[in-house]
Amino acid sequence: MIEARRLHILRAVADHRTVTAAAAALYLTPSAVSQQLAALEQETGHRLVERGAKGVRLTPAGEILLSHTNAVLAQLERAEAELAAYSSGAAGTVTVASFATGIVLVVAPAVARLAESAPGIRIRVQDAEGDASLPMVLDRQVDVAVAVEYRGAPAADDPRLTHVPLYAEPFDAVVPVTHRLADAAEVPLAELAKDSWIGPYPGNPCHDVVVLACENAGFQPRMEHSSDDFRAVVALASADAGVALVPRSALRGTDLAGVVVRPVDGTAPTRRVFAAVRRGAEEHPLIRPVLDALGAAAQV
Protein backbone atom coordinates (compact mmCIF):
# COMPACT_ATOMS: atom_id res chain seq x y z
CA MET A 1 0.00 0.00 0.00
CA ILE A 2 1.44 3.36 -1.06
CA GLU A 3 1.20 6.11 1.57
CA ALA A 4 -0.12 9.43 0.27
CA ARG A 5 2.33 11.50 2.32
CA ARG A 6 5.19 9.80 0.49
CA LEU A 7 3.62 10.75 -2.83
CA HIS A 8 3.60 14.35 -1.65
CA ILE A 9 7.32 14.06 -0.88
CA LEU A 10 7.98 12.56 -4.31
CA ARG A 11 6.24 15.50 -5.99
CA ALA A 12 8.18 18.01 -3.89
CA VAL A 13 11.47 16.37 -4.92
CA ALA A 14 10.38 16.47 -8.57
CA ASP A 15 9.43 20.15 -8.26
CA HIS A 16 12.53 21.31 -6.37
CA ARG A 17 15.10 19.00 -8.01
CA THR A 18 17.11 18.44 -4.83
CA VAL A 19 16.39 16.59 -1.60
CA THR A 20 17.63 19.56 0.44
CA ALA A 21 15.30 22.06 -1.26
CA ALA A 22 12.33 19.68 -1.02
CA ALA A 23 13.05 19.11 2.66
CA ALA A 24 13.17 22.86 3.33
CA ALA A 25 9.86 23.38 1.54
CA LEU A 26 8.21 20.58 3.51
CA TYR A 27 9.79 21.55 6.85
CA LEU A 28 11.54 18.17 7.07
CA THR A 29 15.16 17.18 7.35
CA PRO A 30 16.95 15.93 4.22
CA SER A 31 17.48 12.56 5.94
CA ALA A 32 13.73 12.28 6.60
CA VAL A 33 12.97 12.97 2.93
CA SER A 34 15.55 10.39 1.84
CA GLN A 35 14.08 7.83 4.24
CA GLN A 36 10.56 8.42 2.91
CA LEU A 37 11.76 8.10 -0.69
CA ALA A 38 13.51 4.84 0.18
CA ALA A 39 10.33 3.57 1.82
CA LEU A 40 8.30 4.56 -1.25
CA GLU A 41 10.73 2.68 -3.48
CA GLN A 42 10.33 -0.35 -1.26
CA GLU A 43 6.53 -0.05 -1.40
CA THR A 44 6.50 0.18 -5.20
CA GLY A 45 9.35 -2.21 -5.89
CA HIS A 46 10.96 0.29 -8.26
CA ARG A 47 13.83 2.73 -8.16
CA LEU A 48 12.13 6.12 -8.39
CA VAL A 49 14.92 8.71 -8.18
CA GLU A 50 18.50 9.03 -9.33
CA ARG A 51 20.97 11.33 -7.63
CA GLY A 52 23.58 13.16 -9.66
CA ALA A 53 25.96 16.10 -9.49
CA LYS A 54 23.16 18.48 -10.53
CA GLY A 55 20.58 17.16 -8.10
CA VAL A 56 17.86 14.54 -8.24
CA ARG A 57 15.83 13.40 -11.23
CA LEU A 58 13.04 10.90 -11.50
CA THR A 59 13.57 7.55 -13.19
CA PRO A 60 11.05 6.43 -15.84
CA ALA A 61 9.24 4.52 -13.07
CA GLY A 62 9.28 7.68 -10.96
CA GLU A 63 7.75 9.68 -13.81
CA ILE A 64 4.96 7.13 -14.14
CA LEU A 65 4.24 7.32 -10.43
CA LEU A 66 4.36 11.13 -10.51
CA SER A 67 1.66 11.26 -13.19
CA HIS A 68 -0.60 9.23 -10.90
CA THR A 69 0.52 11.27 -7.88
CA ASN A 70 -0.97 14.48 -9.30
CA ALA A 71 -4.34 12.75 -9.78
CA VAL A 72 -4.26 11.08 -6.36
CA LEU A 73 -3.40 14.27 -4.47
CA ALA A 74 -6.05 16.24 -6.37
CA GLN A 75 -8.63 13.60 -5.43
CA LEU A 76 -7.56 13.81 -1.80
CA GLU A 77 -8.05 17.58 -1.92
CA ARG A 78 -11.58 16.97 -3.24
CA ALA A 79 -12.23 14.48 -0.46
CA GLU A 80 -11.13 17.03 2.15
CA ALA A 81 -13.36 19.64 0.52
CA GLU A 82 -16.41 17.36 0.59
CA LEU A 83 -15.78 16.33 4.19
CA ALA A 84 -15.40 19.95 5.20
CA ALA A 85 -18.63 20.78 3.38
CA TYR A 86 -20.36 17.91 5.17
CA SER A 87 -19.34 19.37 8.52
CA SER A 88 -20.35 22.86 7.25
CA GLY A 89 -16.84 24.32 7.00
CA ALA A 90 -18.19 27.69 8.05
CA ALA A 91 -15.16 28.71 10.09
CA GLY A 92 -11.41 28.44 9.62
CA THR A 93 -8.26 30.12 8.36
CA VAL A 94 -7.20 30.49 4.72
CA THR A 95 -3.67 31.68 3.92
CA VAL A 96 -3.23 33.79 0.77
CA ALA A 97 0.14 34.65 -0.78
CA SER A 98 0.21 37.59 -3.19
CA PHE A 99 2.55 40.17 -4.66
CA ALA A 100 2.17 43.66 -3.17
CA THR A 101 0.03 45.27 -5.87
CA GLY A 102 -2.25 42.24 -5.91
CA ILE A 103 -2.74 42.67 -2.19
CA VAL A 104 -3.81 46.26 -2.75
CA LEU A 105 -6.08 45.61 -5.76
CA VAL A 106 -7.84 42.34 -4.92
CA VAL A 107 -6.70 40.69 -1.68
CA ALA A 108 -7.44 43.53 0.73
CA PRO A 109 -10.86 44.24 -0.86
CA ALA A 110 -11.61 40.49 -0.72
CA VAL A 111 -10.73 40.45 2.99
CA ALA A 112 -13.19 43.30 3.55
CA ARG A 113 -15.92 41.48 1.58
CA LEU A 114 -15.40 38.25 3.50
CA ALA A 115 -15.62 40.06 6.83
CA GLU A 116 -19.24 40.76 5.93
CA SER A 117 -20.25 37.74 3.84
CA ALA A 118 -18.29 34.98 5.62
CA PRO A 119 -17.17 36.26 9.04
CA GLY A 120 -16.13 32.78 10.11
CA ILE A 121 -13.32 32.73 7.53
CA ARG A 122 -10.08 34.29 8.76
CA ILE A 123 -7.62 35.35 6.07
CA ARG A 124 -3.87 35.38 6.64
CA VAL A 125 -1.97 37.30 3.96
CA GLN A 126 1.68 36.83 3.00
CA ASP A 127 3.57 39.10 0.61
CA ALA A 128 5.24 36.93 -2.04
CA GLU A 129 6.11 37.41 -5.69
CA GLY A 130 4.26 35.25 -8.20
CA ASP A 131 7.21 32.99 -8.87
CA ALA A 132 7.40 32.22 -5.13
CA SER A 133 3.69 31.95 -4.32
CA LEU A 134 2.91 29.07 -6.69
CA PRO A 135 5.52 26.73 -5.13
CA MET A 136 4.17 27.78 -1.73
CA VAL A 137 0.73 26.49 -2.76
CA LEU A 138 2.16 23.21 -4.06
CA ASP A 139 4.19 22.75 -0.87
CA ARG A 140 1.07 23.42 1.23
CA GLN A 141 2.64 26.46 2.86
CA VAL A 142 -0.35 28.56 1.75
CA ASP A 143 -3.82 27.77 0.44
CA VAL A 144 -4.21 30.38 -2.32
CA ALA A 145 -1.71 32.21 -4.50
CA VAL A 146 -2.42 35.45 -6.37
CA ALA A 147 0.20 35.24 -9.07
CA VAL A 148 1.29 36.60 -12.44
CA GLU A 149 1.81 34.67 -15.65
CA TYR A 150 5.51 34.39 -16.47
CA ARG A 151 7.82 32.30 -18.56
CA GLY A 152 8.34 28.97 -16.86
CA ALA A 153 5.20 29.24 -14.72
CA PRO A 154 2.94 26.19 -14.42
CA ALA A 155 0.48 26.25 -17.31
CA ALA A 156 -3.24 26.79 -16.84
CA ASP A 157 -3.84 23.08 -17.47
CA ASP A 158 -1.15 21.95 -14.99
CA PRO A 159 -2.59 18.84 -13.25
CA ARG A 160 -1.36 20.09 -9.86
CA LEU A 161 -3.18 23.44 -9.85
CA THR A 162 -6.50 25.10 -10.63
CA HIS A 163 -6.19 28.60 -12.13
CA VAL A 164 -8.84 31.31 -11.70
CA PRO A 165 -8.22 34.36 -13.96
CA LEU A 166 -8.57 37.67 -12.09
CA TYR A 167 -7.50 40.63 -14.22
CA ALA A 168 -5.04 41.87 -16.83
CA GLU A 169 -3.38 45.27 -16.95
CA PRO A 170 -0.98 47.00 -19.35
CA PHE A 171 2.50 48.25 -18.60
CA ASP A 172 3.10 51.95 -19.25
CA ALA A 173 6.38 53.58 -20.24
CA VAL A 174 7.91 55.77 -17.53
CA VAL A 175 10.55 58.25 -18.75
CA PRO A 176 12.18 61.31 -17.16
CA VAL A 177 10.54 64.64 -17.92
CA THR A 178 13.73 65.61 -19.75
CA HIS A 179 13.61 62.54 -22.00
CA ARG A 180 13.45 63.08 -25.75
CA LEU A 181 10.12 61.18 -25.91
CA ALA A 182 8.51 62.97 -22.97
CA ASP A 183 6.17 64.87 -25.29
CA ALA A 184 5.13 61.82 -27.32
CA ALA A 185 1.51 60.68 -27.03
CA GLU A 186 2.69 57.06 -27.07
CA VAL A 187 6.15 55.58 -26.66
CA PRO A 188 7.49 53.12 -29.27
CA LEU A 189 9.60 50.62 -27.35
CA ALA A 190 12.10 50.32 -30.21
CA GLU A 191 12.99 53.99 -29.62
CA LEU A 192 14.25 53.06 -26.14
CA ALA A 193 16.73 50.44 -27.32
CA LYS A 194 19.80 52.55 -26.48
CA ASP A 195 18.52 53.88 -23.15
CA SER A 196 19.53 52.69 -19.70
CA TRP A 197 16.75 50.68 -18.10
CA ILE A 198 15.38 50.31 -14.58
CA GLY A 199 13.38 47.22 -13.67
CA PRO A 200 12.72 44.27 -11.39
CA TYR A 201 15.30 41.61 -10.67
CA PRO A 202 15.46 38.46 -12.81
CA GLY A 203 13.07 35.93 -11.34
CA ASN A 204 10.39 38.54 -10.74
CA PRO A 205 7.55 37.81 -13.20
CA CYS A 206 7.45 41.48 -14.22
CA HIS A 207 11.10 41.25 -15.27
CA ASP A 208 10.07 38.59 -17.78
CA VAL A 209 7.25 40.77 -19.13
CA VAL A 210 9.60 43.73 -19.64
CA VAL A 211 12.37 41.71 -21.26
CA LEU A 212 9.98 39.87 -23.56
CA ALA A 213 8.34 43.13 -24.66
CA CYS A 214 11.74 44.61 -25.51
CA GLU A 215 12.79 41.45 -27.33
CA ASN A 216 9.62 41.65 -29.41
CA ALA A 217 10.59 45.25 -30.22
CA GLY A 218 13.95 44.00 -31.47
CA PHE A 219 16.39 44.64 -28.63
CA GLN A 220 17.63 43.44 -25.26
CA PRO A 221 17.14 46.08 -22.54
CA ARG A 222 20.31 47.25 -20.79
CA MET A 223 19.27 46.97 -17.14
CA GLU A 224 21.43 49.45 -15.23
CA HIS A 225 19.35 49.54 -12.04
CA SER A 226 17.24 46.85 -10.37
CA SER A 227 14.47 46.98 -7.78
CA ASP A 228 11.33 44.94 -7.16
CA ASP A 229 9.71 48.04 -5.62
CA PHE A 230 8.10 50.09 -8.38
CA ARG A 231 8.17 53.21 -6.21
CA ALA A 232 11.96 52.90 -6.30
CA VAL A 233 11.89 52.29 -10.05
CA VAL A 234 9.89 55.49 -10.60
CA ALA A 235 12.13 57.45 -8.23
CA LEU A 236 15.21 56.40 -10.21
CA ALA A 237 13.52 57.38 -13.47
CA SER A 238 12.71 60.79 -11.98
CA ALA A 239 16.43 61.11 -11.19
CA ASP A 240 17.13 60.64 -14.92
CA ALA A 241 18.76 57.24 -14.23
CA GLY A 242 16.90 55.48 -17.02
CA VAL A 243 13.54 54.41 -18.42
CA ALA A 244 11.13 51.73 -17.28
CA LEU A 245 7.96 49.79 -17.97
CA VAL A 246 5.64 49.69 -14.96
CA PRO A 247 2.26 47.98 -14.47
CA ARG A 248 -0.43 50.65 -14.53
CA SER A 249 -1.84 49.77 -11.11
CA ALA A 250 1.61 50.01 -9.52
CA LEU A 251 1.68 53.70 -10.43
CA ARG A 252 -1.32 54.50 -8.25
CA GLY A 253 -0.29 56.57 -5.26
CA THR A 254 3.31 56.80 -6.53
CA ASP A 255 5.11 60.13 -6.63
CA LEU A 256 5.29 60.90 -10.35
CA ALA A 257 7.11 64.22 -10.04
CA GLY A 258 10.00 64.21 -12.44
CA VAL A 259 8.64 61.54 -14.78
CA VAL A 260 6.18 61.25 -17.64
CA VAL A 261 3.92 58.21 -17.95
CA ARG A 262 2.86 57.26 -21.47
CA PRO A 263 1.11 54.25 -23.00
CA VAL A 264 3.23 51.98 -25.17
CA ASP A 265 2.76 52.37 -28.91
CA GLY A 266 1.17 49.27 -30.45
CA THR A 267 0.43 46.17 -28.39
CA ALA A 268 1.25 46.98 -24.79
CA PRO A 269 2.99 44.39 -22.61
CA THR A 270 0.44 43.01 -20.19
CA ARG A 271 0.48 41.56 -16.69
CA ARG A 272 -2.09 38.75 -16.37
CA VAL A 273 -3.04 37.98 -12.80
CA PHE A 274 -4.73 34.83 -11.56
CA ALA A 275 -5.49 32.96 -8.36
CA ALA A 276 -4.26 29.40 -7.96
CA VAL A 277 -5.08 26.60 -5.56
CA ARG A 278 -4.12 22.95 -5.42
CA ARG A 279 -6.27 21.06 -7.90
CA GLY A 280 -9.26 19.61 -6.14
CA ALA A 281 -9.29 22.27 -3.41
CA GLU A 282 -11.23 24.87 -5.40
CA GLU A 283 -14.59 23.73 -3.97
CA HIS A 284 -13.44 23.54 -0.36
CA PRO A 285 -16.04 25.48 1.68
CA LEU A 286 -13.34 27.73 3.10
CA ILE A 287 -11.47 28.30 -0.16
CA ARG A 288 -14.43 28.73 -2.55
CA PRO A 289 -15.66 31.94 -0.84
CA VAL A 290 -12.13 33.34 -0.96
CA LEU A 291 -11.83 32.68 -4.70
CA ASP A 292 -15.27 34.23 -5.25
CA ALA A 293 -14.32 37.31 -3.21
CA LEU A 294 -11.07 37.71 -5.16
CA GLY A 295 -12.97 37.46 -8.43
CA ALA A 296 -15.53 40.04 -7.30
CA ALA A 297 -12.77 42.42 -6.20
CA ALA A 298 -11.01 42.00 -9.56
CA GLN A 299 -14.19 42.96 -11.45
CA VAL A 300 -14.43 46.19 -9.48
DSSP string, 59-86: -HHHHHHHHHHHHHHHHHHHHHHHHHHH
Q: What are the E-state strand segments in the chain?
A: 49-52, 55-58, 92-98, 121-127, 144-148, 161-176, 196-199, 222-226, 244-247, 259-262, 270-278
- Of 61-70, 73-82, 126-135, 157-166, which range is least confident? 73-82
Stated pTM of the model: 0.71
What span, in angstroms and rounded, lies between the C-alpha atoms of 291 and 293?
5
CA 94 to chain centre: 17
Mean pLDDT (the chain, rounded): 90
Residue 43: pLDDT band (50, 70, 90) is confident
Angstrom CA distances, 59 to 43, 64, 127, 159, 289, stand at 16, 9, 36, 20, 40
Give the per-residue pLDDT at 78. 82
Give the per-residue pLDDT at 134. 93
Give the per-residue pLDDT at 90. 67
- DSSP type of residue 251: G
Which residues contact residue 151 at a Cβ distance below 8 angstroms, ignoring those fewer than 6 apart?
208, 212
Mean pLDDT computed over 267-295: 93
Question: In 3-state terms, what secondary structure has residue 292?
Answer: helix
Q: Is the pLDDT at 207 greater than 80, yes or no?
A: yes
Mean pLDDT computed over 274-286: 93
Give the per-residue pLDDT at 86. 61
Mean pLDDT computed over 210-235: 95
Percent of the residues in the chain that have a pLDDT greater than 70, as a whole number: 98
Residue 91: pLDDT band (50, 70, 90) is confident
Q: Is the pLDDT at 39 greater than 80, yes or no?
A: yes
Residue 89: pLDDT band (50, 70, 90) is low
Q: Is the pLDDT at 114 greater than 70, yes or no?
A: yes
